Amino acid sequence: MLNRRVMVTGLGAVSGSGLNVSSFWAALKAGRSAIKPFDLPIDNIKISLAATVPDFDPNKHFSSDELTILDRYSQLAVIAAQEAVDDAGLVCGEEILTGAAAIIGSGCGGKHTDEATYDRLYKQQRTRVHPLTIPKGMPSAAASMVSLHLGIKGPAFALASACASGSHAIIQGMSMIHSGMIDVALVGASDAPFTYGLLKSWDALRVLSNDTCRPFCKDRSGLVLGEGAGMLVLESEEHAKARGARIYAELAGCGMTSDAGHITRPDVEGISNAIKNALHHAEIDLNEVNYINAHGTATRANDVAETEAINRVFGDYANKLAVSSTKSMHGHALGASSALELVATTLAIHHGVIPPTANFTEADELCNLDYVPNSAREQEVNVAMSNSFAFGGLNAVIALKKYS
């Protein structure tokens, strides 16, 4: 059975920090948060903060005909996917890209299309909707649009597992390369959750902050929603080396579990087992890990459970780990967060810089790790992990190594 090494050769990011990886990484290195007052024209909501994509004009990226079939989450996915492909040195129409896979996760799918449809039917009392409503808003729309825009004709499909959607999509691409099914995969996730219905629903959960996102802090007050897309090009080692690709890092292994318990409350055992499984799959000793990009939502339950799980798995070595939550800067972009966070973790290995946990004040008494407060840290990162834990008790952990 094949078990080929998998490399990251291209990165793309759209986030509250901007429309490309360079803006994203510059903000993370500076500890600069993209969280700002919520200023979208949506009435009758209590949410006051968000990390929305700044100065985004769809007309600068797509024609009017294209926009008739592109929900906002698909737009963000295509932009980030194009950047990742360009970054990897691949070209639309070439055989390499034609035979690649496109596996795109999303926690929400085409909610802007759904919202516009319901507004038309129930608020405006219209009797007909746009004829392309279904293909524009379906959960697989972003995967289809990425495939169409980039000329990808290999396996293309969507994956949905709430806030772990990006990680699960990336793991699926990695597994397909491991097995020899494909040589190249474009993987990641996209979400655009700023619609009236979704915001009212999140408000009802009472987990949103009207202060800021400060994971692991004693005075943390909840998560802040974001939007965006993170994309990665994955290749087998042989394929990447044969074409002389620049390799950011090796995607070394993964761990996945489900809690089979509470629908929203994280489970320490489920998280711990996912971390253990990732270490085992990647054949990594726990004392080799330098950095963990935490799920770090800044909710009361998550931060304590994640800290306890890390302590449980790593024991005394946990105090030697750098742990940070980049959600403090790009917000919680739902399914896209895990993909954006893997982009950040990849860049931490590539550049030897650990992004901080921004907005940090004083650690919670139950959060006793090194959370890299407020300022990035220059440090060689040979092995790193990225944690993602979703509603429904769906846990995914990805391990990366510096390539050698």
CATH of residue 258's domain is 3.40.47.10
Same domain assignment for residues 160 and 56: yes
Over its C-alpha atoms, the chain yields an Rg (Å, rounded) of 20
Q: Is position 266 within any domain?
A: yes
Task: Please report where in the chains the tokens 């790193």 appear, as a residue.
Answer: 384
Same domain assignment for residues 232 and 304: no
Q: According to the model, what pLDDT value does residue 3 have? A: 80
Same domain assignment for residues 69 and 198: yes
Same domain assignment for residues 221 and 364: no
Is residue 196 a contact partner of residue 95, using CB atoms and an 8 Å limit? no
Same domain assignment for residues 332 and 197: no
Same domain assignment for residues 224 and 297: no
CA distance 295 to 323: 10
Domain boundary residue among 215, 242, 269? Answer: 242
Is residue 212 a contact partner of residue 374, using CB atoms and an 8 Å limit? no
- How many independent structural domains does the chain possess? 2
The one catalytic residue in 149, 178, 239, 332 is 332
Closest CA relative to residue 248, chosen from 388, 357, 328, 352: 352
Q: Is position 299 within any domain?
A: yes
Query: CA separation (Å) from 150 to 93, 97, 288?
Result: 8, 8, 38
The one catalytic residue in 149, 168, 295, 330 is 295
Q: According to the model, what pLDDT value does residue 2 have? A: 66
Same domain assignment for residues 389 and 259: yes
Q: According to the model, what pLDDT value does residue 295 have? A: 98
Beta pairing class for 394-401 and 383-390:
antiparallel
Q: Is position 194 within any domain?
A: yes
Q: According to the model, what pLDDT value does residue 41 have? A: 79
Q: Is position 248 within any domain?
A: no
316 contacts: CB under 8 Å, gap ≥ 6: none
Q: Is position 1 within any domain?
A: no
pLDDT values of the chain reduced to their tens digit, one per residue, 404 residues: 468 999 999 999 999 999 999 999 999 999 999 999 998 878 888 899 999 999 999 999 999 999 999 999 999 999 999 999 999 999 998 999 999 999 999 999 999 999 999 999 999 999 999 999 999 999 999 999 999 999 999 999 999 999 999 999 999 999 999 999 999 999 999 999 999 999 999 999 999 999 999 999 999 999 999 999 999 999 999 999 999 999 999 999 999 999 999 999 999 999 999 999 999 999 999 999 999 999 999 999 999 999 999 999 999 999 999 999 999 999 999 999 999 999 999 999 999 999 999 999 999 999 999 999 999 999 999 999 999 999 999 999 999 999 98
Same domain assignment for residues 22 and 149: yes
Query: CA separation (Å) from 258 to 197, 200, 235, 394?
Result: 28, 27, 28, 5
CA distance 359 to 357: 7
Q: According to the model, what pLDDT value does residue 1 have? A: 46
295 noted as active-site residue: yes
Mapping DSSP to helix (H, G, I), strand (E, B) and coil, where does residue 9 land?
A: strand
The one catalytic residue in 112, 149, 163, 178 is 163
Same domain assignment for residues 119 and 232: yes
211 contacts: CB under 8 Å, gap ≥ 6: 49, 221
Same domain assignment for residues 231 and 287: no
Question: Domain span at residue 307?
Answer: 253-401
332 noted as active-site residue: yes
Domain boundary residue among 193, 212, 242? Answer: 242
Is the whole model's pTM more than 0.85, yes or no? yes
Same domain assignment for residues 59 and 202: yes
